[in-house]
Amino acid sequence: MKKKIKTLFKIKYVLLVLTIILLGSIVLTYARGGNLSTYKNGIVSIFSPVRNAVAGIRNAINNSAEEKKSKEELKAENEELRTENEKLKSIIEKYQTDIYELQELKSLLDLSGEYSAYGTVAANVIGKNTGNWIYEFTIDKGSDDGIEMYMNVVADGGLAGLVTDVGKNYSVVTSILADDMNVAGISSTTRDSCIVSGDLELLEEGRIRIMYVHGDADIKDYDRIVTSTTSNRYLPHILIGYAHDITMDNNELTKSGYLVPAVDFQHLEYVMVIKHVKGKNKE
């Protein structure tokens, strides 16, 4: 009996010490803005090659499924692709003229916020959603490839998220769908500003929330919402998604609604990390 009490006391002591350490760690990482790279690097870096291999296997499976297509299917597909190719060529022609026009207009406006100027790193998505509450994913590039905290991540030409943790050869990206993510946005047509906020409730519908739109603002359905210059984390003029169902709030002062993200998060495999942290190296 005495021994039993003694062991209970001992383990309680251990529990207390560990609790204090863990609470300290939470506070410490909270104070540092969630950056844990220095603690985490050693252990998780070992995991990353394995996770790479797993992602490789997934790609191999996808490829082998492709190879199994029959000759007829391939012929039909070839035909289809050719006609599509022609179509796309003509579209490109059109776009090229548009781009020249755009460049001219941009130089007039002196918009140097285009992210292509910063250089990008392509990365594979090697892990998704360890838990179901916070929507985040892991990519196979880390500090070795020049990735830093709070770099913007884009995919399919739209904003996918923000690097929230960097390891040696991996990083964790919190997507804009995550419930605690907020992005300052602006409508590209009407220049009305808004806040795009992730919302777990809407995750299944594939949309997120738009809030704090000025009551007089005239954002219509399918208006492009891009990142605003006022955002302290996101580079300006990256497409976030398309507005939907913007209605007046009960307070008659602000409007809110929904946003359909430009990125297809269900089938996210490759992403681009923009190698620039906003607010750093301002020259």
Partner 1 sequence: MLRFFLSLILIALCTLFQGSVISMIPYINSTPNLLLIVTFSIGILRGRDEGLLYGLLCGIAMDLVSGGYLGFYALFYMYLGFGCGFLHQLFDVDVPLVAVILTILSEILYHLYVFLFRFVIRGRLSISSYISSIILPEMIFTIAFAILLYGIIVAMNIALEKYEQRSALKFV
The nearer residue to partner 1, 192 or 234, going by C-beta atoms, is 234
Q: Which residues of 105-144 are buried (b: 16+ CB within 10 A; e: fewer)?
A: eeeeeeeeeebeeeebbebbbbbeeeeeebbbbbbbbbbe
The nearer residue to partner 1, 14 or 88, going by C-beta atoms, is 14
**CA-CA distance, 147 to 98, in Å (whole number)?**
33
CB of 55 to partner 1, least distance (A): 7
CB of 235 to partner 1, least distance (A): 20
The nearer residue to partner 1, 2 or 30, going by C-beta atoms, is 30
CB of 72 to partner 1, least distance (A): 26
Residues 6+ apart with CB under 8 A from 182: 195, 196, 197, 198
Q: Which residues bind partner 1 (CB under 8 A)?
A: 7-8, 11, 14-15, 18-19, 21-26, 28-30, 34, 36, 39-40, 43-44, 47, 50-51, 54-55, 58, 126-134, 136, 138, 164-165, 172-174, 179-180, 200-201, 203-204
The nearer residue to partner 1, 16 or 92, going by C-beta atoms, is 16
**CA-CA distance, 242 to 254, in Å (whole number)?**
19
CB of 151 to partner 1, least distance (A): 13
CB of 119 to partner 1, least distance (A): 24
The nearer residue to partner 1, 200 or 217, going by C-beta atoms, is 200
Q: Distance of CA 85 to CAs 35, 67, 73, 92, Å?
A: 45, 22, 18, 10
The nearer residue to partner 1, 120 or 182, going by C-beta atoms, is 182
Q: Is 83 exposed, middle or buried (0-12, 13-18, 19+ CB in 10 A)?
A: exposed
Cβ 163 vs Cβ 171: under 8 Å: yes
CA atoms within 13 A on the CB side of 118: 24
CB of 93 to partner 1, least distance (A): 40
